[in-house]
Structure 1
């Protein structure tokens, strides 16, 4: 009876291991079968030497190595698969995956077409691009992000309650963009136009994590998704730019002007559809080229650390404060956002069990440097607000810098503890994923509260 139970437990372990392996898109079914044969042979040898089945299984799995290493080995051995997976989705040998991939493709095409059509709907009511700058500046994210969220919610099979929340939040965004009496020259137009897309992108995050909102792992997956989505979108934009140049040149060669078609149809419709297509590509190509953003992070983290340190040294040598104006504020906010992005994507790509290394020290230097710069900017900004009074732009920038200051300060503390071996790496990941809610609250506050508080100026 004991022998039977041992075999059943061993088979259950094999089943669990096989399911885990087959989640790797770069490993085909035949690869999984080959790996399982090797694993079973190794287990049989260890059992023959006198080990218990469960002990033999654990040792055999450890000898085989991690799946990341195995995946890389199979990628080197079957390099032609990578290029096929970049174009086609799913495993041709697996009919279930193939059907699912085809369904995803159809859903993506419907949502992309919906986004492309949405940007042209206001034109039916006389709202043309050249005549309604304010409307399109505040509403452009509402033409495409709901469609991306719909695709992700469909793919995750989100429940009715979550879908209702998504609809309500997008409706709230539409109200914030259109109900307030905003003049074309008002600062509130710029605030809504820049902050509403971020707020709605975090709503897309709700669709991405679906029913696992409390899971730190799923929230980190959304951060990875965001980085890869941006990379794909840039690549699509570059390809679209080349297409536009060739389209202009070829039609010009036969005496036709394609400028109106490009500005009125190709660029707006293509841009809206590309946002959905980029999201589909990230979902479809996971495990193939999903590590582009973290690789770029490894490259730019040392460079930004050196630049920020050089800037702080220059301030100390010159003895001059930071000249705060609108352009400077935008530049420093963008700089701090880039630093935060570098931190997030390096965290997302790091093995939590890996030992501390030089790159972790560089991250700490980067975060501390950004923290000091943020504190200096806040000091100068508070002085100017006290002297000249507040405006919507200044208050939005002040709040954003405070939000970033809190994040960077605690991140620096957690990184310092980690580098000094006083704390674990998962605490850093939990802090960053939990802080997404703070960003969401502030973005919605800028869109919905600041305009009426300052009289829509």
Structure 2
């Protein structure tokens, strides 16, 4: 009995049709035409016809949107590259500070978000005004290596990163899910950018070597004009690829979170035991206190990354207990760092660095307490994972406000 007859004979048996298709899909597809011609009124075969010969009719509008998005990405990437090259010229002339490179990248990423989300005019005007005012203020600061100026340089990118989040969320900046999406975007962006940057470094090394073979050293020209341009443009390209739901970053990010969390926990445990063993004292050793705060920030970043990639699964997993352990250890580190900086303030007096570290420790302590309490309720089956994510997303503006305060006020005060 031929397959044509089998399709017709089992026209009212979807299970058997599925079995025939899986057994010989190509033969099934070729022979389907005859069965469809003989039974044009069959609803079952009509469904199979759409399944076998479906063409996305609504793709024209989607394709045009993607094309516009691609063109805007290309234009913004070129502008970002050119801007960074111009900024480099003035940096080399010592006319402006190197921190201005953030204005060669972040405003163009914000412009891409705004172009694709079309926020309200008041949000648009606020974004443009803050970017311009902050750039003006930054370049009014003297080019000196004073602590207050350096702190402003360090905190400015943090403030602009929060501002970039407003551009990303658009009209929904107050909704926790859109803030969570912004955090996820950052994780996927970093993964994708790192992958492409590694490819760019391999290309750079190959290019350098090829020109050396012919007796030419183009390293200075290449780094100033090609590498810098490419690094800036690549940020816009990575933004575009993440925004169109590229599967690479989205698929790999949760696995990275699951792999790195236990590794960080194990490393941190060994590190803390070693610190106690060798007798390092953050109360007296300034450099060790700074490294202690660096570890604290790293643990906070890993924990937040893991939480954002955990999704909305109500079921608890080993990752949740690892995250909770990381938060507890981070709180211990924060309490030690907080005590050490208070001791140094009372013993050695007030300085911009000590006040900035104190402020960061207080902010992180409050955030970690909130996350830990939310996690405890989740592990006790009292709430879902959304409360943990709220503890992360709702606190983001606090970091932005503090970063803005340090950037603006510290140079004026000190």
1:301 to 261, 268, 273: 261
Please give the secondary structure, in 2, of the residue aligned with 1:354. Answer: coil
1:446 to 399, 406, 410: 406
Shift of 1:354: 2.4
> Is 1:175 aligned to 2:140, yes or no?
no
What's the counterpart of residue 73 of structure 2?
108
2:192 to 232, 237, 240: 232
Please give the secondary structure, in 1, of the residue aligned with 2:125. Answer: helix
> Is 1:200 aligned to 2:160, yes or no?
yes
> Is 1:130 aligned to 2:92, yes or no?
yes
**Aligned equivalents of 1:398 and 1:324: distance in 2?**
16
> Is 1:255 aligned to 2:215, yes or no?
yes
What's the counterpart of residue 139 of structure 1?
100
> Is 1:246 aligned to 2:206, yes or no?
yes
Shift of 1:128: 4.1
Count of matched residue positions in the alignment of Structure 1 and Structure 2: 361
Q: Deviations over 1:329-348 (max 9, x none)?
A: 44333322222222222222
What's the counterpart of residue 79 of structure 1?
none
TM-score (norm 2): 0.81
Q: Deviations over 1:73-101 (max 9, x none)?
A: xxxxxxxxxxxxxxxxxx89822222111
**Aligned equivalents of 2:324 and 2:143: distance in 1?**
42
Q: Deviations over 1:366-403 (max 9, x none)?
A: 10011001110111111112111222222212211111
Shift of 1:417: 2.0
Whether the 8 Å CA contact 1:145–1:200 is kept in 2: the answer is: yes
**Aligned equivalents of 1:320 and 1:307: distance in 2?**
17
- After superposition, residues 397-416 of structure 1 pair within 5 angstroms as 397-416=357-376
Shift of 1:409: 1.5
TM-score (norm 1): 0.74
Structure 1 unaligned segments of length 5 or more: list them.
1-39, 42-90
> Is 1:336 aligned to 2:296, yes or no?
yes
Q: Deviations over 1:246-265 (max 9, x none)?
A: 12111121122212212321
> Is 1:371 aligned to 2:331, yes or no?
yes
Change (3 A) 1:113 1:426: same
Of the structure 1 ranges 160-169 and 188-197, higher mean CA displacement relative to structure 2 is found in 188-197
> Is 1:436 aligned to 2:401, yes or no?
no
Of the structure 1 ranges 308-317 and 253-262, higher mean CA displacement relative to structure 2 is found in 308-317
**Aligned equivalents of 2:274 and 2:208: distance in 1?**
47
Whether the 8 Å CA contact 2:152–2:410 is kept in 1: the answer is: no
Please give the secondary structure, in 1, of the residue aligned with 2:357. Answer: helix
**Aligned equivalents of 1:208 and 1:383: distance in 2?**
41
Please give the secondary structure, in 2, of the residue aligned with 1:285. Answer: coil
> Is 1:216 aligned to 2:176, yes or no?
yes
**Aligned equivalents of 1:315 and 1:182: distance in 2?**
38
Change (3 A) 1:351 1:275: closer
Shift of 1:192: 2.5
Answer with 1 or 2: which has the greater Rg: 2
Q: Deviations over 1:404-456 (max 9, x none)?
A: 111112211211222122333211111110000111001111111111111xx
> Is 1:421 aligned to 2:381, yes or no?
yes
Runs of 4+ in 1 over 6 A off after TM superposition: none
Whether the 8 Å CA contact 2:183–2:308 is kept in 1: the answer is: yes
1:384 to 327, 344, 349: 344
